[in-house]
Structure formats: structure tokens, C-alpha cells
């Protein structure tokens, strides 16, 4: 049966693959640039395809090779990354580029790729399979969902990953790993969606246990939703004529190394009542309410004066960009 699934899935992929700027089309048998594959995989971690699609070309235009990226100042890379979130990825991207240049190019095995900064199990498997055609079992959240529904697994994904891995190994066995990975990702993103799966379009529906159950969207079951903790903080708006005072956040921690409005450390708990202008931003593990207070003087702070008419060039992450928009409005 796995062979029939492989044939059906790969045929569907070759007919309906998404056209993405970092992707080689099905059947491409020429050389592949591992730099493009690696860059896309890092950018796509925790960031939507739609967002990355608009930013990928900008990165390639500015840094067309891994050598160019390795030679770029880290501050330039952090500024270009603004708005993509999970900013540790940008620092790891820079460190990884420098490591790759030092070793003379990307390694082509999962084991060697995992030794590079910012490359975990999933990314190593994806790069090895897609860029180098190596056998690998590539599993992201889309693939997990497809596998769980195909077999109607009745436990949440996070508690059933060992079983999902074994079933995925079986599906990948003997297939071209790069195309199989992209076929499963496309299926999960466009047809086997978390809600309202389009089972009538799925090439695996006749062999899918979740579809046979009559309620495919109930698989895999979702774990109980956790309450997201609240935090609050203050940012200082220090303006002098047509310039704004900015600082750089510490290299470690949230928004590490990014340009920001100055202010004290954030605190746990719900924000106290206050009439000041504020913005609310939801991070992965907590929600933050940031109030903005005007100040006249940056004494005791290390930073720089940035022209307000070029604020879009400062590389402010979304939290501080929204705070600036509120104040300027």
C-alpha cells in the first residue's frame, strides 16, 4: 500500500505543485543551490509562506550568495529581518553563513548539517533531501497532520511523534525524498488543512482512515489550550525635532540584537491601569502590553538618533514599529 500512496501523492504534486520563489519545479534534474534551499527553510520556520514569499527575493537581491551574507554586518541582517519574527534565526543565519564559508560550502548530509548554527532535525533533513537529493524523512507540522489523518491517530501530535515518525519513514521509503517532502507539505498546506480539509481534492482520500471516519478534521485531536501569560512594559518616546532616539536590545533574550525604543525590562502580570498610548503584541509564549511614555532626554542611555523620515530603515521589529506608528499618528 505505501507504494500506491507514493505514486498517487507524487503524481498529484507533479501536476499541482505550488509555484514558490525558492522552489525548483517537479522533475528538475539540474544542479540546485543549497544556499536558496537553506535560506528558505530558515525563513519559513514559524513564519507563513505568504510573508516569506514577499521577503525572499529581497534577501537574494541584497545577498545573492552565502559568501555575501557571511560578509554582511550583522546589524544589516537584523534590520532586513525586521518583521519576520523569531529574531534568533537572523543571528543564527549569519553565524551559519560564516561557518559554511569557512568550511568551503554546505555539507550534504543530515548529520553534518545538524552541526551548523540554527539547523535542527527538520531543517537538516529538508536541506539534505531537497538540495542534495539525499534519503531523509522530512517532517514538519503539515506532514505530521497528513500522517496523523492518514492513519486516524487518536492522540495529539506532540504526544505521538515517535509513532508518526515510524509511519512517515514507511511513506518516504524508496521515494525521492525531496519531492516527497514538498508533496506532503503542499498537501497539508492546501488540502489537508487544519480546519475544513478539502478531502474531495486529496489524492489519498480513498486510503485515509480519518476521511473514512466521516470527521477528518477531528484528527489529530488537539491538546488542551494553554492560557497565555500576560506581561507588560514601558517604552520611552524620546524625540528631538525630526529624529527619534533608538537603542539596540541585548543580544540574548526576546528581540535580541534588534533596534528598539528604550525602556526598562518587561514584567510579569497584567498591565496596571494607565491612560498612556499602548500597543499589545502576542508572542509565542506570552502576550505583552507596552505603554509608550514621552521623555525629553536620553541621558544615561546608549543609542543613536534616527531620522523619523527614514524610520522604516531602522529595522524595528513589529512591536516597536507599531508603537512608533501609534505615536506618529
pLDDT at 121: 95
pLDDT band at 139, cuts 50/70/90? very high
DSSP string, 169-225: HHHHTTS-HHHHHHHHHHHHHHTS-SSS--GGG-TTGGG-HHHHHT-GGG-SPPPPP
Arithmetic mean of pLDDT, 89-96:
95
Tell me the pLDDT tens digit for each residue of 1-56: 567 999 999 999 999 999 999 999 998 888 899 999 999 999 999 899 999 999 99
* This prediction's pTM: 0.86
How far is the C-alpha of 89 from the C-alpha of 91, rounded, in Å?
A: 6
> What is the structure's pLDDT at 155?
95
**Catalytic site residue 41?**
yes
Taking only the tens place, the pLDDT of each residue in 186-242 is 999 999 999 999 999 999 999 999 999 999 999 999 988 888 999 999 999 999 999
**Of 41, 110, 144, 179, catalytic:** 41
pLDDT tens per residue, range 272-297: 888 889 999 999 899 999 999 999 99
What is the dotted CATH code of the domain comprising 230-328?
A: 3.90.79.10
Class of domain 2-218: mainly alpha
**DSSP secondary structure string for all residues of 5-69:** HHHHHHHHHHHH----TTPPPTT--S---HHHHHHHHHHTTTS-HHHHHHHHHHHHHH--SHHHH
Domain boundaries, the chain: 2-218, 230-328
Amino acid at each position: 500500500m505505501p507504494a500506491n500512496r507514493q505514486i498517487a501523492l507524487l503524481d498529484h504534486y507533479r501536476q499541482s505543485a505550488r509555484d514558490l520563489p525558492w522552489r525548483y519545479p517537479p522533475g528538475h534534474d539540474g544542479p540546485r543551490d543549497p544556499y536558496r534551499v537553506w535560506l528558505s527553510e530558515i525563513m519559513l520556520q514559524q513564519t507563513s509562506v505568504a510573508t516569506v514569499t514577499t521577503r525572499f527575493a529581497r534577501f537574494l537581491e541584497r545577498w545573492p550568495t552565502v559568501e555575501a551574507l557571511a560578509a554582511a554586518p550583522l546589524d544589516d541582517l537584523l534590520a532586513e529581518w525586521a518583521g519576520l519574527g523569531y529574531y534568533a534565526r537572523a543571528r543564527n543565519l549569519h553565524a551559519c553563513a560564516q561557518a559554511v564559508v569557512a568550511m568551503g560550502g554546505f555539507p550534504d548530509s543530515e548529520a553534518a548539517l545538524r552541526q551548523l548554527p540554527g539547523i535542527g532535525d527538520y531543517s537538516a533533513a529538508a536541506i539534505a533531501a531537497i538540495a542534495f537529493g539525499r534519503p531523509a524523512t522530512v517532517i514538519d507540522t503539515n506532514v505530521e497532520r497528513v500522517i496523523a489523518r492518514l492513519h486516524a491517530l487518536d492522540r495529539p501530535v506532540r504526544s505521538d511523534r515517535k509513532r508518526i515518525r515510524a509511519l512517515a519513514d514507511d511513506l518516504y521509503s524508496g521515494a525521492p525524498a525531496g519531492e516527497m517532502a514538498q508533496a506532503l507539505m503542499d498537501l497539508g498546506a492546501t488540502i489537508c488543512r487544519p480546519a475544513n480539509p478539502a478531502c474531495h481534492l486529496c489524492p489519498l482520500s480513498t486510503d485515509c482512515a480519518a476521511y473514512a471516519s466521516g470527521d477528518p478534521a477531528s484528527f489529530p485531536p488537539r491538546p488542551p489550550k494553554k492560557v497565555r501569560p500576560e506581561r507588560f512594559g514601558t517604552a520611552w518616546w524620546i524625540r528631538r525635532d525630526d529624529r527619534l532616539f533608538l537603542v539596540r536590545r541585548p543580544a540574548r533574550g526576546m528581540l535580541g540584537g534588534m533596534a528598539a525604543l528604550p525602556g526598562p525590562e518587561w514584567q510579569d502580570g497584567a498591565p496596571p491601569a494607565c491612560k498612556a498610548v499602548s500597543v499589545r503584541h502576542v508572542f509565542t509564549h506570552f502576550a505583552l502590553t507596552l505603554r509608550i511614555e514621552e521623555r525629553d532626554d536620553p541621558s544615561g542611555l546608549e543609542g543613536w538618533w534616527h531620522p523619523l523620515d527614514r524610520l522604516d530603515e531602522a529595522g524595528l521589529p513589529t512591536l516597536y514599529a507599531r508603537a512608533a506608528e501609534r505615536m506618529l499618528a
